[in-house]
Each structure stands twice: as C-alpha cells, then as structure tokens.
Chain A
Amino acid sequence: MSSQLVLLIEDEPEMRRFLRASLVEHGFRLFESETGRDGIHQAATRNPDVVLLDLGLPDVDGMEVTRAIRASMTVPILVISARGQERDKVDALDAGADDYLTKPFGIQELLARIRVALRRRAQAEHPEPVFALGSLVVDLHKRRVFVDEEEVHLTPIEYRLLASLVRRAGCVVTHQQLLEEAWGPAYTHQRQYLRVYMVQLRHKLEADPTRPRFLLTEPGVGYRLKTEPVGEP
C-alpha cells in the first residue's frame, strides 16, 4: 500500500495542506492539481493509483472530470463533496466515480475509503470467486449465497443485485447502476423496482433489517455493501 500515488484535484489551499500532511504521513505519494483541466491532464500523464476529486472546482464540474478520466483509465476516483452538492455527487458517481466523502471528514474516514477503493480495483483485476464478509458468503462462481453457513435462496434479480454490490464491495453503487445491471439500461428510472427487491434481499440476508450488517442504504444515492466500519464524524 505504501508509496502509492494519490492525485489530489482540489482548489482549496487549506484542504490541500491537510490532505498533504495526512496522506504523506500515511505513506502515500501525492500530486496536486488546482483545476479540473490540469487534473485531467495529470491523471493521464502521472498514472495515479487513486484520484481524490473535489466537486467545487472553479473551471470544470466534477462529472466532466470523472467522465474524462474514466474514458481512458480504471483508476479509483473518490469524489469529495460538500452539503448542497448532492446532485453533482450522484452525477459524478453515475459517471464512474467509485465513492464519495462529504466535507467535513476525518482522516480515518478518508483512509478507509481509499483502502476500500484500492482493494476493489485489485479485486476487479484479479476477481476472487468467493466473497466473505462476517457470516455472509457469496460464491460468485457457483452463484450461491450463505448466511451463518445456511444457504439462502435468492431470485435471479436479487442475486444480480447482490452480485453487483459484491463486485463493488465497500463502495457505493448508485440506483442507476444497480437498475442497469439487474434489469437493463431501459429501467434506470424505475427506482421502486430496486426498493422492493432490496427490501426482499435485506429480509433474506439480515437478522434485523432495520439494523443492517451488510446492506446499507445511502438515501438519495444508492446502496453499499458494508466491508468495514467507517466512522462518521
């Protein structure tokens, strides 16, 4: 994990100072960009391991930066948003960003998100056929799901939803992405489908659906399969 390169695209000097001090201290190398255009350029030339992208850039909006980087690279992109930028956040996630952090955040939260995003990228390149999280085991190869060593029988759509979340374990998956992967591109506005099936899925996997251990709702954004506790400030 050490000496991995983080590209930080952020126009606030104080924010950059905080992130520089903390990330270098935790063994990352850092390259900084103050504008979206420069960020896109640096992403292409420096080949970073992670991109941290602030959504309030003066020149280009976050969705455009995300799209430009995604067009040629699979590098994990974490967007940093403030309250009131919910729409921009979801747009950036739909455009291919991996996850988000809301300002203000603590360093532990940032490091946890970076870890998850890096692990997810490694997983995408060398997929492990069996995913285990506490008592939940998903065998992607055999398409079987176990909770507490008991097999859980899922319908095809429930399974497709779970598999989508497992493939991006720990990261948020937007409503649009889940709908597209479970039903197809024509269904991306049918959120009530998603709601119904996620409720069913949660009832099959969770002991207490109101205190979920695995399937987290991100109101207004999407769902997340929990992989480790991430503290909120």
Chain B
Amino acid sequence: MRIRSTILSAAHASGPFFVGAGVVGLAAALNWVLFGPGDTADVGMVFLLGVVVIALRFGFWPSLATAGLSGIAFAYFFAPPIFQLAISDLTHLVTFLVLLSIAVVVSELARRVRVQARESEQRRAEVERERMRNTLLSSVSHDLRTPLASIIGAASSLATQGDSLPPGTRGELVSSILREAERLNRHIRGLLDMTRLESGPVVLQRDWEAVEDLLGATLDRMGPMLSAHEVTTRVAADLPMVSMDAQLVAQVLTNLIENAVKYSDPGTRIEIDARATEADLVVEVADRGCGIPAEAAEQVFEKFVRLDGGRRREGSGLGLTVCRAILQLHGGTIRIAGREGGGTCVRFTLPLDGTPPGIPEDDAGGELES
C-alpha cells in the first residue's frame, strides 16, 4: 500500500513534467507536418506556444523543463544541421534563449496573479468573518446591556433617593429590577447553553426516559409563565421510552414552549403533541401566534436570528440554535413551519434506537394487599 501510494504521489508530482514532454512532442510533430525542417521562425513560435501553456498551467519548473526539451527538439529536428544537436547559426541559439526567458517570465506572472487572487479571496472571507463577529457581538452586548442598564438605573435611584420616593414608585423600581434581572438570567442561560454545546464534544448523559415525564416537569417549572395561555397536551398512549439526555431534551421543550408563549398573544392556545412513528418519537409544539414565512424556516436556526429584527420581542435569538444542536447530538431533527389558520408549529424527532432493557415483574405480580 505504502509503495503504491509513494508511486502515486511521485506520479502526481512529476505529472506536469510528463505533460510538458507530451506538449513538446506534439509541437514537434505539428511543426514537422506543417513547416518541415529549416523554417526555424515558425517552428520556434509553435514551441513557444507549448512553453507558455505549460508555464500558465504548472508554473516555473515544468515550464523551464519544457523550454529545455523544446530547445533540444528544435536543435535536433529543425535547425540545420538536421538530426544533430549542433547548431550552425547563432540566431537559432537566440531563438532557444528566447524560449527559456519567455518560460520564466510567463510562469512568474502567472504565479503572481494566482497569489493575488488567493489573497483577495482570503481578505474577503476575513471581512465577512469580521462582519459576522461584529453582528454577534453587538447583538450579545445589546441583549446583556439593555436589562443591565435598567437594573443599574433603578437600583441607583433607590440607593440615592429611596427614602423620598413615594411607595408606589419604589415598588415599580423594585419590580423592574427583578424583571430585568430575570431577563438577563435568561440571556445568560442561552449563551451558556450555546457555549457548552459549541466548546467541544458533548457527552450525552443518556437514559431511557418517558417523554411525558419530561413534558410534565417542563410545564410545571414554567408554570407562571404559561398562565396567560391555554396549554393543551396530547401524548399518545403507550409511547415507547427513548434513550436521551433528559436535561438537554427538557431544555429543548422549555425553549420551544417559551417561544410559543413569546410569539403568540395571551388567551390563544398552545398545543403540544407527542406520538411515535416506526422510527422516531415525534413531538410538536404549535401556537396561534404570528407565524413564520416559509423562506425564514431555515434561517431561524442560525445564531442570534430574530425575525422581527431583534428589537421588539425579547429573546436571545439562541433558543432554536440550541435546540437544533441538542437534537443533532441525539441523531434527531427539528423543523419549523407555518400552520393553516395562522401560527407556528415546531416539530422535532428523536430516533427510537434499540429497545429499553426488560423490566422484572413486580414482586407480588398483583395489587397491594390492604
């Protein structure tokens, strides 16, 4: 194997030289047929063409070799005396030297153009990266600074003039501090989730889990946030257990339900549906909110993308990115689409790989005796 690959790589490296030799042979044959020996000016032009082609395509050394070989062919076949390497006329030597110098100049020019093209491509990519970085940075700093500004403002008012403020105003300032701190907390949570998922291979703490368990835990934890909406759940009976990292999948459910609450009006219905197909567990979170244009259905999974331009609705623009990263780790998928009648439906799947280990029968096998 190793010998073969050595030969292959040698062939690869010496390829341009063989091509050069082939071009020289071709030029010589063409010259022989078209012009015959003696017509050194026309013959020289055809060889020159070959050298230029090799210089443009393969660069300095192959073109130099081609030029040398062209010179030999020229001297042997075409410059009198024919079929000897000797050259009778000085002009023929000049032709050969011209061939050489053209090879050097053209290959150098071609090299420069190539380098410049590569550099400008790199610069463009760098500028693009820089722009992305700035967008991310300004988005993050906006999201962190806005609540922080309210907190510092309200807290400093309380600290300097707390005693002279009417109780109503004091109460407002305090609840504003609390609300904004919670908002800050949510942003930081999103950033931490993202950083954790991006910082290297994540080891999933897999276990066989029942999705209704996780759904119940998530809805309970989000309790007060859901009070303005009507939340309905439909979990198919006898859903199989799924091997997953419970905390991460609970995070997916939290992010999706949070989005549904955020992007739909109070009083509307949020429907959560879980069922199994042959190969997957399928969970849908659907709302009657502002919906999503079809062309944005992929874009929203990118970092810091918010469809309203990122200012009106609060949110980190990371929720769906985190969801997708978590589901990909599980070998699952996530998709978002508009709904008939308005609103958005997010569907995610988790593969039903393998079967959970068997459970021993309950020791008495029946009901507890009273």
Contact = CB atoms under 8 A, between A and B. Distances in A.
Interface of A: 83-84, 86, 104, 106, 142-144, 151, 153-159, 190-193, 195-196, 198-199, 202, 208-212, 216-220, 226, 229, 231-233
B370 A143 contact: yes
16 contacts: A142-B370, A156-B368, A190-B357, A191-B207, A192-B207, A192-B356, A195-B210, A199-B210, A202-B216, A209-B212, A210-B235, A212-B220, A217-B216, A220-B245, A229-B223, A233-B182
B300 interface: no
A209 B238 CA distance: 13
Given A144-B370, A156-B363, A231-B224, A192 B212 contact: no
B177 to A, nearest CB: 12
Contact of A219 (B222, B223, B246): B246
The residue in B214, B224, B250, B370 that gathers the most chain A C-beta atoms within 10 A of its C-beta is: B370
A80 to B, nearest CB: 16
A209 B370 contact: no
Given A157-B362, A219-B214, A232-B221, A192 B368 contact: no
Contacts of A192: 207-208, 241, 356-357, 359
A219 B217 contact: yes
B192 interface: yes
A195 B217 contact: no
Interface in B238-253: 241, 245-247, 249-250
B216 A156 contact: no
Interface of B: 178, 181-182, 185, 189, 192, 196, 205, 207-210, 212-217, 219-224, 233, 235, 241, 245-247, 249-250, 272, 356-357, 359-360, 362-364, 366-368, 370
Given A84-B192, A195-B210, A157 B221 contact: no
A154 B367 contact: yes
Nearest to B234: A210
B221 A199 contact: no
The winner among B213, B214, B215 for most chain A CB atoms within 10 A is B213
B181 A104 contact: yes
A86 B235 contact: no
A209 B208 contact: no
B364 A216 contact: no
Nearest to A139: B370
B216 A209 contact: yes
Given A143-B370, A233-B182, 19 more contacts: A154-B367, A155-B367, A157-B362, A190-B357, A192-B241, A192-B359, A196-B210, A210-B215, A210-B235, A211-B216, A212-B216, A217-B213, A217-B216, A219-B213, A220-B205, A220-B245, A232-B222, A232-B224, A233-B185
Contact of A143 (B181, B366, B368): B368
A219 B208 CA distance: 12
A210 B216 contact: yes
